[in-house]
Structure 1
Amino acid sequence: MKRNNLDICADILRVSRGGAKKTHLVYKANLNFNIVKKYITGLTESGLLEKNGERFYVTEEGKLFIDRYDKLSSPFHVI
């Protein structure tokens, strides 16, 4: 099944929880460098991801995004 943009954002943020270099994001999120670069830019500008040195870290707001996204995408969630 193809992932949507929110799935990819959540994957990148999950990988970044303990800090991750761009190469690590590429392999763990199963994306290419150009795609990861686009998402990193958007997530950073949105305040969900931050860069410290060579590593990217999920922000507190990013952690909230992951929690809410997981709840909404749960198969047991009823709207």
Structure 2
Amino acid sequence: MPLSEYIKEALKESYKDSFKKRRGRTDIIVDILSVAEGKAKKTQIAYKADLNFRMLEEYLPHLLDKGLIENTDGEYKTTEKGGRFLTDYQKMKEMLR
């Protein structure tokens, strides 16, 4: 196989893999809730959930509004409802394997 064909194939595979690695909305929510199970500041959540601040600012109001997370003095914590969401998500994920 010529080098140019090999490179094209490698790029095509790499491109496909990059889409597989993208997280969906639910996965991002799960990551945020998991980080906030113990109290966490925005910076910690962004870093550990691998999000930029813009994305985090989009998700936090939604999670607060739905009662999945709470904010006390600048620290976020997953609520009981958020904990149930995480548990149910893990069960569903196991069932689909």
Q: 1:48 — aligned with what? A: 68
In percent, how many aligned pairs have the same letter?
A: 38
TM-score of the two chains, using structure 2 as the length reference: 0.76
Q: Which sections of structure 1, spanning at least 5 residues, go unmatched?
A: none
Greater C-alpha Rg: 2
Q: 2:86 — aligned with what? A: 66
Q: Which sections of structure 2, spanning at least 5 residues, go unmatched?
A: 1-20
Aligned length: 76
Q: Which runs of 4+ in 1 moved over 3 A?
A: none
Q: Work out the CA distance in 1 between the residues paired with 2:63 and 2:74.
A: 16
Query: What whole-Å deviation, never above 9, does each CA across 1:20-76 have from its counterpart, x for those lacking one?
Result: 0000011000000010011111100000000000100000000000000111112xx
Q: Work out the CA distance in 1 between the residues paired with 2:36 and 2:58.
A: 16
| Structure whose residues are more often helix by fraction | 2
Where relative contact order (Cα < 8 A, 6+ residues apart) is larger, the structure is 1
